Structure 1
Amino acid sequence: MAGALIAGALGCAAPSAASARELRLRYDVTVLGGVTLGEIEVTSLLDRAGYRIEIRTRPYRAAQLVGAAEQSGKVEGRWGRGGPEPRLYQANGSWRGRAYVSEMHYPRSVPTIRRLEPSNEDREAVPPELIRGTVDSLSGLAGMLKKVAESESCDGSTAIYDGRRRSLAVMTSSARVQVSNHGPLDGRGLRCDFTVRTIAGFRHDDDREAAMRPLKGSVLLALREGGEFPVPVRFEVETRWFGTVAVQLAAPPAEF
């Protein structure tokens, strides 16, 4: 869950369609040590029927200096027997002046690229057998939140494909804590450690050893009673450009 997983600072909603409300959450993004890189705003709706998440990242000056620009993403899906089943995934943004657009649909649960700019000519093709059974990173994180809501455990793995790269995210429950010590919410919390490793879709000019190195991180979740979805309070994750980055919930969720 890195990069796009930073992007995955998700929200939550009540567990029934009748009582579900959209939530808006804002996160501050900093390099460990204090330099502020930007902010992330998330609008989310998760209930027993499915999920919808929209995300927008706004980089500040320090991140813009190395080429970061505003990015946005959106996913819609439902819950299947095996976990999240995305229907639509979209992502837009730019890096070092180069625009990126991705749009994927999932007919019969098969990830299918509908739009991809630029094309994947500079990358190795991801084999079809590695694409089947994958979800986007936001759907993977939504599935993790659902599992925590049901079992208060995040142990498991998710196969991720964004139209360019195929990755594997592995999560483990590591500690139970009080979230009041780590942000604007109170109550019980669960800390989960994770690794994300790219296994296919490398650029032709990549340093393969460096590109395959797993990125490590953790997420602190505020647990909620009655089977409601937890709220991510803080992410810490390795990145290839900024070192370890913290994504911190800036204020209690706004419901609307």
Structure 2
Amino acid sequence: MRFGVGIAALMLALAAPATAQTDEAVFDLVLRGLRAGTLSFEGTEHDGRYSVRGRLQSGGLLGLVRTMRYDARSSGRMVRDRPQSIAYSESADTGRRQSEVILSWERGQPRVERYSPARKPRSYDIDPAAQQGTVDPLTALYAALRDVEPGEECRLSLDIFDGRRRTRVMLGQPKPVEGGVACAGEFRRVAGYSQEDMAEKSRFPFSLVYRPTSEGRMRVVEVATDTIYGRATLRRR
């Protein structure tokens, strides 16, 4: 009887789902040397699926001038350690206007469920049905900033669709730096932008710095880039 109970307990233990992996992070956003806000996310992977919550919140000197907030959620599946979006939602308050975006993906093809406020069609608008293989913005952020195993740093190349625009993020080869690893990357505007926006700036180079955690994984601790507003840095707390 005891033997049977032991076998049953062992079978239940083996059948139990694997422990979920969770990544949490808070970054301070520094713009032109001044603290401008925080970027935070929490992502969970379990049984080939992932879900992420993220927030960008103004703060510091910028928060005294204008309160801005972006909240987003995304979910999808991991296929050979590569994310595939299923659902994305975003709400934003820039201090001047509020907006809401809801997107879904089916077999890699996005669909705009809601994009508010609406606007009149423009000549450079792109067809969501033609954006096969893209992921949502929060999924791309999570893929770039989540902890990875040593040797897996900087392995990222994703096309992103936010409901109106298509962009691309790519990371280059990792290089050793003091205490960790660094890599150069590029964020590129691809489609859905006006000619003026593309002429102003279409490519945004950036860099990532990884350092080992106490568990032996590699973690992004700093992101630096040039934006149309000046030099911006994300520093992990």
TM bucket (normalised to shorter chain) is 0.7 to 0.9
Q: Which residue of 2 aligns with 1:244?
A: 231
Unaligned runs of 5+ in 2: 1-16
Compute the TM-score of the two structures, normalised by the length of structure 2: 0.78
Query: Is residue 51–residue 76 contact of structure 1 (8 Å, CA) maintained in 2?
Result: yes
CA distance in 2, matches of 1:233, 1:239: 19
Q: Which digits, 9 at most, give the CA deviation of each residue in 1:202-247, with x for residues without a partner?
A: 147x343114x2011111223459895x432111122222x11111
8 Å Cα contact 2:31/2:231 also seen in 1: yes
**Aligned with residue 206 of structure 2, among 217, 239, 244:** 217
**Identical aligned pairs, as a percentage?**
23
Answer whether contact 1:152 1:190 (CA < 8 A) is retained. Answer: no
Q: Work out which of the two has the higher radius of gyration on C-alpha atoms and give 1 or 2.
A: 2
Q: Secondary structure at the match of 2:172?
A: strand
Amino acid at match of 2:97: R
Partners of 2:86 and 2:95 lie apart in 1 by 30
- Following superposition, the deviation at residue 157 of structure 1 comes to 2.2
Tell which deviates more after alignment, 59-68 or 93-102.
59-68
More strand per residue? 2
Structure 1 counterpart of 2:138, which letter?
Answer: L
Given that residues 24 and 44 in structure 1 are in contact (C-alpha distance below 8 angstroms), is that contact kept between their aligned partners in structure 2?
yes
Aligned to 1:22: 22
Equivalences for 1:1-256 in 2 at 5 Å? 18-33=18-33, 35-47=34-46, 49-60=48-59, 62-64=61-63, 69-81=68-80, 83-95=82-94, 97-121=96-120, 123=122, 124-127=124-127, 130-144=130-144, 148-149=148-149, 151-179=151-179, 189-203=180-194, 206-211=196-201, 213-223=202-212, 230-241=218-229, 243-250=230-237
Aligned residues: 220
CA distance in 1, matches of 2:106, 2:226: 34
User: Which residue does 1:4 correspond to in 2?
Assistant: none
Distance across 1 between alignment mates of 2:168 and 2:90: 19
TM-score between both structures, scaled by the size of structure 1: 0.73
Encode CA deviations 1:151-184: one digit per residue, 9 max, x unaligned.
Answer: 42424521111111101212112422344xxxxx
Deviation at 1:104, TM superposition (A): 0.7
